[in-house]
Structure 1
Amino acid sequence: MSVKHSRPNPARALLALGLIASVLPAAQAQQNTSAQPAAGELQSVVVTGTRSLNRRTLETESPVDVISSRELLSTGSSELATVLSRLLPSMNFPRPVGADASDAVRPAQLRGLSPDQTLVLVNGKRRHTSAVVNVNGTQGRGSAPVDLNAIPLAAIDHIEVLRDGAAAQYGSDAIAGVVNVILKKGADGGEAEIQYGEYDKGDGEQTTVRGSTGFKLGDKGWVRVAVEAANRNPTNRAFPDPRPEAGPRQGTITQRYGDPDSRPRSLFLNSQVNINENLDWYAFANYGERRTSSAATWRLAGRSPLYPEGFLPLEDSKSTDASLVTGLRGELAGWRWDASLNHGRNRFILDVDNTTNLSTGFPDPGQTSFHAGKLATTQEVANLDVARDIPVAWMSGPLTVALGAEARYESYEISAGEPNSYFGGGAQGFSGFRPENAGKNSRNNQSLYLNLEGDITKQLSGSLAVRHERYSDFGNTTSGKVAARYALTPQFALRGTFSNGFRAPSLAQEFYTITTTNFLVINGQNTPIETGTFPVDSPAAQALGAQPLKPERARNLSFGAQWQPIRNWTTTVDLYRIDIDDRVIFSSNLQLSGAAAAGLNAALQNRGIFVGAARYFTNAVDTRTRGVDVVSTWRMNLAQGARADFTLAYNHNDNEVRHVAATPAVLANANLVLADRQTVNRLTVGSPKDKLTLSGDYTRGTWSGHANVTRYGKFTVPQNNVALDQTYDPQWVLDLSASVRVASDWRVTLGIDNVTNRYPAQVTSNGNLNVNGTQPYSVWAPNGFNGRFFYGKVGYTW
């Protein structure tokens, strides 16, 4: 199956954008730098969510968090998504286990929404998404978001997180908010660090080496190079298998249940050359590989003569990320402009090892390793922003007028595995992609956008954004946003925003297809069943009542207050509501084995499709998300040059499903439900209702210390049988670290994450949901289930 659209020529697109700039009177280059707070200040200049220059954090109409590189390195983790989940109460990052490719590319959520409803930028430019679709029973099921962990901490100067809808400013995906990663820059200075750590159980050893340095390019340019490599050994929190069917392994640990074995390697470059006083060339690029080995479900003894005592299939993957952004920016007669080209690609190759194919008549019964196939996604963007600050007599400050145009091309490709990987029932652990699954699909879209903002009076500022997009597969859509801030006093201000937005279904959601073995809960038992995932336009999905996908439509409303009673103490409180219509979800697992479904099963078999269950993507629900964010920061300047910083941050988030689409008649007649109880409740109760973080940093002379306490609120893992639901109580986690500067250039850090060795409650054995007692913890746990982690770092700065 293949749908192709004409592919825009990036050079022609950029030329066209240049012509637009020559006839439009206006607007703004998105600047990719941000000033850090001065000594004694808690504010910094931000570039995310605004087109104005010198907009500070306590002057923004929308809430923006600024996270420094020091904060990013304040924990024992080297995964960006893990670090952000500890620093941002509105971020949730559980750790899937036994979820196929989701073990290797794990999704993160903002404000409890889908992972692909958060837009990720690097230096203000759209980042490409991962090729992996999360199709198993984890949080983020059905999403194909950006892989945050492909961005190394060594390359990051700081991160700006816009907690507000921003589709009118940035386009599709920016429903929950925007994460803008700002890279380190300049030729001066550098740092190198080596870190080692392991868990309290004696496993999960991690070694990370990272470094960043700069070089001059002639007299007017620089290039910054960042490298990072890590070896992360697997963890295992499985319990011994008590079943007699385990054979000689009965009563010993046969399963592997925990973090996968992971080997990431990455290189980031950031550069700029000043061509003349009004023109700069810039480019940034990355190449990274991450090899991951994750465990499937243990296969019992006696199933294969190759493994008389049973075997553990391993899903060995290689995820490759590559991107290049280059452009020109400058100023001409008072007009700022920025023109860029952006190419990004992710390729995910999956092999299955330590396994076999148990199908009758399999031609090579001795084969133990299989190539299961490849996924690839590509993004190409041509972009032009132009801007100017225009004096207006009746305004307190200039009016920033920003115009922009963008052309984007996207493709998604599935490549088949070797025939033996899908022969019959396929390789145990993961049946490979079949030739009928393979294909390449693409689309393109073009957009125009306008942004107006400025200080209307000394107390009142406001902004207006409008964006129109045209998709080759979905047609036209228009988004708008208005925002305002009013300072009642120099210390206290109110702010609010209203916007409508959209998210176009990803190509992966439109075209991902595979038939493989999944473990589904049937009559309270984890049961292996052949499951087909079908594109909505396929004959199989249409036979099951599928309809063409539509874009998600969102409405965001926020209202907040900013308070700075003294120079060193700031507090913000922001209430928000996000309504999303036609939300794209993964359907229920439509089990076709029952007598009522015999007609559907026969219809699929007549098309050569033999599965026990089926599923597809659908615009099945309308949701409403309501919540509040509180952030309060206090800095104390103490005697003898010492300083202490304290931050309290809190998020309360409530999701509800307002409408569920009617089940198609063809399914209802077979006693099947399009969106069952588990599918719906996964959206509402699966992530913590609230999250609180209390952090403190103390610095005196050569010594510094860091403490962070996080309270993860309760969450529920729902089932279709309400009696099998399990609700997990809140959990407190304490992280501590201390550093000392040796001489002037060396620093030694020792730390402990999860000091009190807290684990989530164990999965109930009711209904066998913990797989015969071998998988004791939920993969939905927001802090994972690895326990206490000890680590040490040695760093050198020049």
Structure 2
Amino acid sequence: MLSPAFAAAQEAEVATLDRVTVTGSRTQPRTVLTSPVPIDVLSAEDIRRSGHTDISKVLQSLLPSFNFPHPTTPDGNTHIRSATLRGLSPDQTLVLVNGKRRHTSAWVNTGGTVGKGAVSTDLNAIPVSAIERIEVLRDGASAQYGSDAIAGVVNIVLRHDAGFEGVASHGRTRDGGGDTSKASLNAGFGFPEGGGVHFTVDYRDREAADRALPDTRQQYFGIHPVTGLPVALSGSYGSGTGLAPIGGGALADPREATIDRGALWRFADSADTVERTVFGNLDKPLGGGHELQVYAFGGYGISDGSSNASLRRSGQPENVRAIYPDGFLPWVDTTSTNHSLAAGIKGRAGDWRWDLSTVHGGNELEYRTRNTLNATLGTASPTAFYNGALESSQWTTNLDFANSFEIGWSAPLQLVLGAEYRRDSYGISPGEEASYVWGPYRVLDGPAAGSVPTIGSQGFAGIQPGDAGDYSRHNVAAYAEVESELGERLLASLALRFEDYSDFGNTTNGKLALRYALGGGVALRASASSGFHAPALAQQYFSSTSSRTLNNVVTGLPEYVLVRTAPVDSVEARALGARPLEPEEARNYTAGLTWGWRGLVASVDVYRIDIDDRIFLSSNFVDAAGSTAIRDYLAALGSPGVTSVRYFSNAADTRTSGVDVSARYLWELDAGSLTATAAWNRNETELTRVASTPAELTALGVRTPLFDVIERTRVERGQPRDNLILALAWNARRWGAGLSGHRYGEVRGVAATNQSAANVARFGEGSTRFVTRPTEAGTAGNFDVIQILEPKWVADVDVHFDVSDHLRLVLGANNVFNTYPTRNIATTPQVSGADTFGVFPYSELSPFGWSGAYYYARIETRF
């Protein structure tokens, strides 16, 4: 006999595939099939069966329109990964918890990854063990929920069941590393008069899986054969192992032959993290004649993570060789803290239902670096620093009224009226002085002796006092939604929302959705809406001066520089052409067909999303070859040592179009039940307008576009244009098994810029396909190289057995066939040093990472 908890999950799957959702309409719950807009509902069993331990991977494994790339850069990427819906920006999907707006993170993505320039919501701060179901609205919903809902809405519904559950799991990758240990406890208690409370405590310890290649570059100074004096390093891969010359006719330092080149770098699609989280969910009827009910939910979580920056070789001028004679790999340690608390009361006044709620949430991100130094402090430099913090919070209060009116139509008219007040805040705190100060020392030895090294702690320069600040804004909104059946077959829904922001003004958005039942379980549906995304405070005020790795516009090879990310209203940004940010404005159109027949639930939806004035982080503006106009200009403005500058801009308009297809069929068999799922998404984003380079920059001789080929390629081709998911799930009394295959479509990314024809020919010696374009910001006749990541199939499998009424054992594997993405372009053999990625065998654009197969075991107990 199955335990009640296990039996309930299976009976729910057998009873119906047409699940009820509260997302997509404020008037009343509807099922997936009766909704006039496309919605997916993922049950707790779906989530558990995926085998993944964070929400973003769960969604990616189950929804083809959801993408979750795996960047390895340090900074907030350690915790807050940029997940996207329908190929749009991470901040164009709104996240709700129990139908209430979830706070965004304090981190703005300034790295070269998908979602660059976006302020994301940290989905993975909510443990999967606390979730009852996830509802995903794949349609614009700004008219209903406000800013950020351009691509859709993810509503996470927390558990409120009674009983006790304990879950423990452990897994690791086939090729080593990636060990993940997880434990969670759930306890739910019902109140005698109704309602109850549910608590979740969750712990996860995750180790990164290192896939770096040996660093074959020259690590130490060369030795002049006559004078014996040190000779500057070669940047060529292979130069430390004899596959490429070390330059200047120098002799190799004997240490080149003994250094452990495989231990110099780490390259992983995740960081080492330890997460501790607690969540609670409460509801309690108060009795009386007004159906009063109080509710509250929230959570608190701390995530500690460690990720590495770029290797500093022994002979680089950034190093102080008296401290690190063999070079050093800087580590960035981050602590991300999330807190949230929602409270509300609802009831009835006459025929009106009302709901008053308030939600406060926030995120703090603290930075520390270790195994590093500030070279301008010489041998007195510390090797560990406190580098500063980012903090954001959001306080949202809503008052909703709902009623239904009999007006003689086929069904009552449902009406919702509401108002909202929200206050956002954002703060930047400086690091300790040693982490950013420009000290008195210059390069102490070697060919570059006397020159100015990189300023600040290596890997992540401390936040300077001039970058610090506290900012806030507020907005008020009024909204209304009506819905009714205009006949026996036609359902119509209309929403309207007005919002007024204290910093950029007001906006009004509307939505019309229709559903028409054709009979036989078939229905047509369509919607049209306008939407918006308000510029985040971080996009308006983020300020940073830090060390980065950029491709040199002349050589195309990486170099370490100081990059200034300037707020749009700063003196530097305004002087270089920045303009105040405007909200993004969208128009969404969706049309589709649904079919429910016996054990089949299926849908097909086509869509188009036009977005004007999308907010992106601009290109990095650097001087043309032989010019110092920008760096001289910035030095005069009080930013010495800065060789590059960028800022946020309404840089482009885009059009996204695509189709979603999904079907699920349930067979009742003598040996249990079998559920088959197929889902496919085809999605294409094109730039319909790109802003030209401001005249202020062209006057300084800057040839780099405001939105360069790297950024344009990432927006248009940096995510799969098509995804296909096929899955089977079998349940039979005590046994169950699942098998799924996910085909990720082609992805493209810029591998190198400004490459000569000779170098491009050497790229062709490898197996990675690529296309070329005439370079847009380098030497005439050179090329920009765009590599192609081939489509890949990834398969997952799981088997579970119910040992008793209260105990379940699970064995599973994600990416069971150990599939890896297409390797980065590399010259073969490495004779020229033109290898474009060196130690990095895989691209950060890979939608499924590069850790390979992951095997896990899990034990679950419930009472």
TM-score, structure 1 length as denominator? 0.93
What is the deviation of 1:725?
0.7
Do residues 412 (structure 1) and 426 (structure 2) align? yes
1:378 to 371, 376, 393: 393
The residue aligned with 1:87 is 62
Aligned length: 758
1:354 to 365, 371, 375: 371
Q: Which amino acid aligns with 1:433?
A: I
Deviations 1:353-390 (A, max 9, x none): 1111112x45832x111001000001001111110111
What is the deviation of 1:659?
0.5
Q: 1:403 to 1:488 in 2, by over 3 A?
A: same
Deviations 1:96-152 (A, max 9, x none): 112432233211011110000000000000000011111010000001110001010
1:751 to 791, 805, 812: 812
Q: Secondary structure at the match of 2:574?
A: helix
Q: Secondary structure at the match of 2:723?
A: strand
Q: Secondary structure at the match of 2:572?
A: helix
Do residues 319 (structure 1) and 352 (structure 2) align? no
**Structure 2 CA distance for aligned equivalents of residues 591 and 349 of structure 1:** 30
2:728 to 696, 721, 730: 696
Do residues 589 (structure 1) and 605 (structure 2) align? no
List gaps (5 residues or longer) in structure 1. 1-33
1:207 to 177, 181, 192: 181
Q: How does 1:608-757 map onto structure 2 within 5 Å?
A: 608-610=638-640, 611-640=642-671, 642-669=672-699, 670=701, 671-718=703-750, 720-721=753-754, 722=773, 723-757=784-818
The residue aligned with 2:262 is 252
Q: Secondary structure at the match of 2:264?
A: coil
Deviations 1:6-64 (A, max 9, x none): xxxxxxxxxxxxxxxxxxxxxxxxxxxx9995743111221101123341110111000
Contact conserved, 2:431 with 2:463, CA < 8 A, in 1? yes
The residue aligned with 1:287 is 300
Q: Secondary structure at the match of 2:632?
A: helix
Q: How does 1:438-477 map onto structure 2 within 5 Å?
A: 438-477=468-507
**Structure 2 CA distance for aligned equivalents of residues 208 and 268 of structure 1:** 16
Q: Tell which deviates more after alignment, 480-489 or 252-261.
A: 252-261
What is the deviation of 1:661?
1.2
**Structure 2 CA distance for aligned equivalents of residues 678 and 340 of structure 1:** 44
Do residues 261 (structure 1) and 261 (structure 2) align? no
**Structure 2 CA distance for aligned equivalents of residues 512 and 606 of structure 1:** 22
Contact conserved, 2:517 with 2:524, CA < 8 A, in 1? yes
Contact conserved, 1:543 with 1:600, CA < 8 A, in 2? no
What is the deviation of 1:503?
0.5
**Structure 2 CA distance for aligned equivalents of residues 740 and 771 of structure 1:** 48
**Structure 2 CA distance for aligned equivalents of residues 746 and 103 of structure 1:** 34
Do residues 364 (structure 1) and 371 (structure 2) align? no
Do residues 788 (structure 1) and 853 (structure 2) align? yes
**Structure 2 CA distance for aligned equivalents of residues 287 and 650 of structure 1:** 36
**Structure 2 CA distance for aligned equivalents of residues 113 and 226 of structure 1:** 32
Q: 1:268 to 1:289 in 2, by over 3 A?
A: same
Deviations 1:415-454 (A, max 9, x none): 0000111122111111010000000010000000010111
Contact conserved, 1:526 with 1:768, CA < 8 A, in 2? no
**Structure 2 CA distance for aligned equivalents of residues 282 and 526 of structure 1:** 54
The percentage of aligned residue pairs carrying the same residue is 41
Do residues 422 (structure 1) and 454 (structure 2) align? no
List gaps (5 residues or longer) in structure 2. 1-8, 221-255, 439-454, 755-772, 774-783
Do residues 401 (structure 1) and 415 (structure 2) align? yes
The residue aligned with 1:505 is 535
Q: Secondary structure at the match of 1:725?
A: strand
The residue aligned with 1:494 is 524
The residue aligned with 2:548 is 518
What is the deviation of 1:71?
1.1
The residue aligned with 1:776 is 841
What is the deviation of 1:602?
2.8
Deviations 1:399-424 (A, max 9, x none): 10100000000000000000111122
Contact conserved, 1:322 with 1:346, CA < 8 A, in 2? yes
What is the deviation of 1:299?
1.4
Q: Secondary structure at the match of 1:508?
A: helix
The residue aligned with 2:587 is 555
What is the deviation of 1:230?
0.6
What is the deviation of 1:589?
0.7
What is the deviation of 1:227?
1.2
Q: Which amino acid aligns with 2:527?
A: T
What is the deviation of 1:202?
2.2
1:242 to 212, 216, 226: 216
2:823 to 736, 739, 762: 762
**Structure 2 CA distance for aligned equivalents of residues 437 and 143 of structure 1:** 19
Q: Secondary structure at the match of 2:263?
A: coil
**Structure 2 CA distance for aligned equivalents of residues 403 and 506 of structure 1:** 27
What is the deviation of 1:331?
1.6
Contact conserved, 1:112 with 1:687, CA < 8 A, in 2? yes
2:636 to 597, 606, 614: 606
Q: Tell which deviates more after alignment, 53-62 or 177-186.
A: 53-62
**Structure 2 CA distance for aligned equivalents of residues 204 and 306 of structure 1:** 31
2:509 to 449, 471, 479: 479
Q: Which amino acid aligns with 2:267?
A: Y
Q: Tell which deviates more after alignment, 713-722 or 66-75.
A: 713-722
2:281 to 270, 280, 283: 270
Q: 1:771 to 1:429 in 2, by over 3 A?
A: farther
Contact conserved, 1:98 with 1:257, CA < 8 A, in 2? no
Contact conserved, 1:465 with 1:482, CA < 8 A, in 2? yes
The residue aligned with 1:138 is 113
1:170 to 145, 148, 154: 145
**Structure 2 CA distance for aligned equivalents of residues 319 and 250 of structure 1:** 34
Contact conserved, 2:273 with 2:303, CA < 8 A, in 1? yes
Deviations 1:475-501 (A, max 9, x none): 110000001011111321110000011
Contact conserved, 2:27 with 2:481, CA < 8 A, in 1? no
**Structure 2 CA distance for aligned equivalents of residues 299 and 483 of structure 1:** 57
Q: Tell which deviates more after alignment, 788-797 or 44-53.
A: 44-53
Q: 1:401 to 1:559 in 2, by over 3 A?
A: same
Q: 1:399 to 1:374 in 2, by over 3 A?
A: same
**Structure 2 CA distance for aligned equivalents of residues 36 and 524 of structure 1:** 60
What is the deviation of 1:600?
3.5
Contact conserved, 2:78 with 2:334, CA < 8 A, in 1? no
Q: Which amino acid aligns with 1:651?
A: N
Contact conserved, 2:104 with 2:119, CA < 8 A, in 1? yes
Do residues 575 (structure 1) and 586 (structure 2) align? no
Q: Secondary structure at the match of 1:431?
A: coil
Q: Tell which deviates more after alignment, 547-556 or 41-50.
A: 41-50
What is the deviation of 1:797?
1.0
Q: Which amino acid aligns with 1:101?
A: G
Q: Which amino acid aligns with 1:403?
A: L
**Structure 2 CA distance for aligned equivalents of residues 485 and 762 of structure 1:** 46
Structure with the greater alpha carbon radius of gyration: 2
Q: 1:456 to 1:550 in 2, by over 3 A?
A: same
**Structure 2 CA distance for aligned equivalents of residues 244 and 176 of structure 1:** 47
TM-score, structure 2 length as denominator? 0.86
Do residues 391 (structure 1) and 406 (structure 2) align? yes
Deviations 1:612-638 (A, max 9, x none): 000000001000000000010000000
The residue aligned with 1:64 is 39
